[in-house]
Chain A
């Protein structure tokens, strides 16, 4: 069975550009809609690109701002100024 990387975000205006950029940048991502929240799953890894979020948001975005809308996640985290990646690769 493939290892599933996963991120759950609040479903609100702050999170929408992040959700959209995940959907655009990760092929094969699976979406579980819950009331007030959305869970995004993908085999092996999920990446959030700063540039991709900024394009949708129309302002500079610091990947650490994700703390304001993050509900849960699975996978090993690698974060820097340009991206936020959850992955089971080593």
Chain B
């Protein structure tokens, strides 16, 4: 051997990826890539794209295979050892129900969206990165279904997750988010999912929440969560590269990108309200409050990021201040909605016990005792008197985020916020200025929204009564829905617990 030096990582990557792309000759490039012009984004030089991880396909397969081996070893061990009996409390399973019905199907939508971007972006760098992410997302949905299928052997509310996702009222919230992204052009999709969702918001879902799964004894979920999140670091890097690349390519891209950042930040914030509720109300043992998670992952991490992006002229998303102020309220207001509509929800609800109320008071000293504790205490009292409160009216929904109009005015937590716009002689309703702005920018898209309550009234959801609609949802009434107390889940959990105590004697 001569003394030739081995190539460094950067040089190896350049050689491995060089010449993967070519100018087509049988067909013009604009016909081969028909979707990357209409959004108005201008790209001068696709080769300026950089993948800072410099991950080749070969290395990608090697590491992904290793991650899968580790994950499936844990899942096998969890099942063999009846891990489901060792979680903190039977209530915990309800976060898995919401996760499997509300989030896992979106991993599949992300898979399809990135497959589309990986086909239709003209540059080879982002195409390869989008293809890897597409495969990651498929891996995520598969591992999530595989993990949670074990719980389905014992608990209600999981078996019809795919059917429910396209029908149940609150699941239309994450569904419409991804439908909106997937019907956008490839650049908007990359900003929506790659940047706004993966970079700004996914940490809030996968880091403190998955740590919460570990803290609650759910070894299987934390393992798929962190295994998925190890891909997310790559996705976050793709998201940030997309935004830098677009902003560096042409100054005309800035206003388009800013509008997308504003839109997708707000839409993501609304979807993550479900996670806020999972963290503050549904984890029996809590890791941190939603407000604390927001401070770490949006205020601090987002602050550092937007300081960096300011050199391109990009600003902090519009209404970021409103979203930060809402971190004091959103989990409580969402839990109130689900408590009132527990008869139509595919997971169980409950009123917090005394210890949990005190934890909430400590975490939300400026708001909880003033605005929410009295309501929870009243509802708990009504429950005791046999007068448990149900809301039997169908709620008005926001035309944009599709959440029932239960959120309050900025700075006034006792007044419900209502906004509206008139478009082609029809009036449309919104929960916030953020949602109204999104509609006003794209009314022709959002007038087509499939709003669950409107669809019920139009007769498209199985019938005119609540039992008709629940049957159409394939909800097993009395098992999937209603309060945890009195549910078959609770009976099973108590039986396991009693057995443990008997054996300990």
Contact = CB atoms under 8 A, between A and B. Distances in A.
A47 to B, nearest CB: 15
A4 interface: yes
Interface string A46-90: 000000000000000001110111111111111111000000101
B72 to A, nearest CB: 15
Given A1-B303, A64-B63, A77-B53, A71 B207 contact: yes
Interface stretch (B210-218, B398-406, B453-461): B210-218
Interface stretch (B111-119, B227-235, B383-391): B227-235
B126 interface: no
A73 B351 CA distance: 36
Interface stretch (B304-312, B418-426, B478-486): B304-312
A10 interface: yes
Interface string B51-83: 011110001000100110010000000000000
A71 B66 CA distance: 15
B301 interface: yes
B308 to A, nearest CB: 6
Contact of A88 (B9, B214, B222, B307): B307
A35 interface: yes
Given A37-B211, A74-B305, A79-B53, A69 B230 contact: yes
Contacts, number: 101
B226 A71 contact: yes
Contact of B214 (A36, A78, A79): A36
Contacts of B162: none
Given A3-B304, A64-B63, A71-B226, A35 B215 contact: yes
B497 interface: no
Give the bracket for the number of chain B residues in contact with chain A.
35 or more
A6 B65 CA distance: 27
A21 interface: no
A68 B67 contact: yes
B279 to A, nearest CB: 13
Nearest to A69: B230
A10 B301 contact: no
Contacts of B55: 64, 67
A70 B63 CA distance: 12
Nearest to B6: A81
Nearest to A3: B304
B236 interface: yes
A2 B380 CA distance: 46
Contacts of A77: 52-53, 237
7 contacts: A35-B287, A37-B211, A67-B55, A67-B63, A67-B230, A68-B67, A79-B9
